[in-house]
Amino acid sequence: DAMVIQNPRYQVTQFGKPVTLSCSQTLNHNVMYWYQQKSSQAPKLLFHYYDKDFNNEADTPDNFQSRRPNTSFCFLDIRSPGLGDAAMYLCATSPRGGATGDEQFFGPGTRLTVL
């Protein structure tokens, strides 16, 4: 089945120790998104890509970086995780994004714990 895959599902890191979360998709969608979601809060958009065109949200901290080496894969790098970065990180894809009626398809998420 076509899907969005995130690895790992659970990630534990130490304060200040760099961590990379990965996302892959078999849907061949053009748009990929990274969201941060804390408990009982709305998902917060960190980045999105239209193909290789990178878009950074204005309030995304510099501590967060992203890479999309090809259509299928996208990575979220947290250079120096703080306790406030503990959250669920959701990857999503969309066929075209923008002003279309396309829905976003979400991966299962990676729950990040910072010790």
Q: Which residues bind other proteins (CB under 8 A)?
A: 40-45, 48, 55, 88, 90, 97-99, 101, 103-109, 111
Nearer to other proteins, 19 or 31 (CB): 31
How far is residue 68's CA from residue 34's CA, in Å, rounded to a whole number? 11
Instruction: Quote the DSSP letter at residue 102.
Output: P
Structure tokens at 13: 């890191």
* Residue 72 CB, nearest approach to other proteins (Å): 18
* Residue 112 CB, nearest approach to other proteins (Å): 13
Nearer to other proteins, 13 or 108 (CB): 108
Q: Which residues contact 4 (CB under 8 A, 6 or more apart)?
A: 23, 24, 25, 27, 91, 92, 93, 105, 106, 107
* Residue 115 CB, nearest approach to other proteins (Å): 20
Nearer to other proteins, 35 or 85 (CB): 35
